[in-house]
Amino acid sequence: GRAGATQQGDSAVQDNAARHLFHNVNEERLKSIKTFATFISLLDNYETSTGIAEVETPEEIAENNCFLDAILATEVMKLAHEYLLKKNLAEPNHANFKNQLYDIWFQLYARKEGDRPDSCGFEHVFVGETRHGKQILGLHNWVQFYLQEKRKQIDYKGYVTQKKKNTPDKDDQVLSIQFSWKGSVKPIGSTFIGVSPEFEFALYTIIFLLSKEKVTRETVKIEDYELQLVVYRHGHHIGTAYPVLLGTNSE
C-alpha cells in the first residue's frame, strides 16, 4: 500500500508495507558480474555517521580502483567518455579519465565547512549517510537498499508511484520509496531499480560535468519515465545525485 502520510520530521510513520521491497534478487548472478561484484565490495568501506572522519585503508583505495577499472571496461562508460570528450569535458587519456572520476566520486571532503573529511560523493549517493542519528542522507542505490533490507537494517515503508498502480512490480525501474534505516525515516527517496552501477555512474558524472552550477536539474525521458536528474556539486566533487520521478512530489 501507499506510505502513510507523515508530518515532516515525524518519526511515527505508519508502516503500510508489511513485506519487503525486494522479494527475490539473484545475488549469485550479481556477484558474477564484475561491476556489481566490485561495487558490492565498496559498500562496507564507510563510516555512515557524518562528522566522524573517514579512514581510508590501502585495501579500500585498491577496491575503489578495481571498481573504476571494472566500470571503465563497460560499453556504458565508454559511451559516456566519448560523449564527454566531444564536449571537451573529460581527459582523453584513459588513466587520466579514471583519475578524474576518482576525484569526483571518491575524494573525501567535509560535508559541513571545517569538519573532518567525513564524506565523498560515492558514499553519499550509493551507501547513504546519517546525520546525528536523526536524518538519512543519500542512499539512492537499489543494491545497497536490497543488502541493507536483507540484513534487517532497512525497513521499507511503502512507495509513491506515478502510474495508476497499487503496488510496485518487477517492471518498475524507478520508484519513490519511504523507508527507515538505522532508526531514522527517509520520507521519500527516489531510486533506480535493477540498473547497473555503471549506468548510474555514467549518468550522474555526465550531468555533473556538463554544468558548473551548485545544483543541476536535468529533465530526461528514459523509456516511459519522465525524470528529473538532480546533481549537487560540492566543489570539484559530487555532493549528491538522484532521480526524481516527475508526476510525484519526491526528492
* All residues at 6 or more sequence positions from 157 whose CB lies less than 8 Å from its CB, including other chains: 3, 4, 13, 14, 15, 16, 17, 177, 178, 179, 180, 185
Q: How far is residue 202 CA from its own chain's centroid?
A: 12
Residues identified as active-site: 124, 140, 186
C-alpha cell at 14: 505508519
Phi then psi for residue 159, to 5 deg, are -145, 165
Decide: 227 and 221 in contact? Cβ < 8 Å. Answer: yes
Decide: 36 and 143 in contact? Cβ < 8 Å. Answer: yes
